[in-house]
Amino acid sequence: MKRTRVVLAVLAIACAAAGAAEKQQTEIRPGLFELGLYIGEPTGLSAKYYLNRMNAIEGIAAWAFSQGFLVVSADYLVDFPEAVKIEGETFPLFFDIGAIARLNMGVQPPIEIGARIPLGVLYVFRDFPLELSLEVVPVLYLFPDTVFTGMGGIGIRYCF
């Protein structure tokens, strides 16, 4: 319940800021910086910086305190900006490759390190600076044991 209130409050603030912002044409471009929420398994904060129209770097710091862990990841993204067009709107597809560290609280092992390969789709609003993403993430932990698992979520980021 508390988590839902926090998410709704942050979304309300983001929408208010987007509404108050000067109308602009938002598009994926070099130097675009985005900051927002990652809602899923686990939930946390997301930041993305576009190196050019097709490549970006992204970091996520997320947690699941009820399950007792914190996750930090960093990815190199490859976007396909014109991959899907529906009624004049574009939905770029993407895949990433990156590293992940999971810090377990009070459980063994205390840290797990591995690789992740997110796959997903983006939507960048034209009239206000907001990006949505939906991703599925296969994860292969390599240390201290080899474990294959999955993650996934929705990203909501404000574009600066």
Q: What is the pLDDT along the chain (160 residues), one digit of tens a residue?
A: 455 444 444 444 444 444 444 434 457 787 899 999 999 989 999 999 999 989 999 999 999 888 899 999 999 999 998 889 998 888 999 999 999 999 999 889 999 999 999 999 999 898 889 999 999 999 999 999 999 999 999 999 999 9
The per-residue pLDDT for 18 is 45
**Domain encompassing residue 151:** 2-159
pLDDT at 9: 46
Q: What is the pLDDT of residue 38?
A: 97
pLDDT of residue 3: 52
pLDDT of residue 19: 46
- Give the pLDDT score at 24: 44
One-character DSSP codes across 82-142:
TS-EETTEE--EEEEEEEEEEEESSSSSSEEEEEE--EEEEEE-SSSSEEEEEEEEEEEEE
Q: Residue 66 maps to which CATH number?
A: 2.40.160.20
Give the chain's domain count: 1
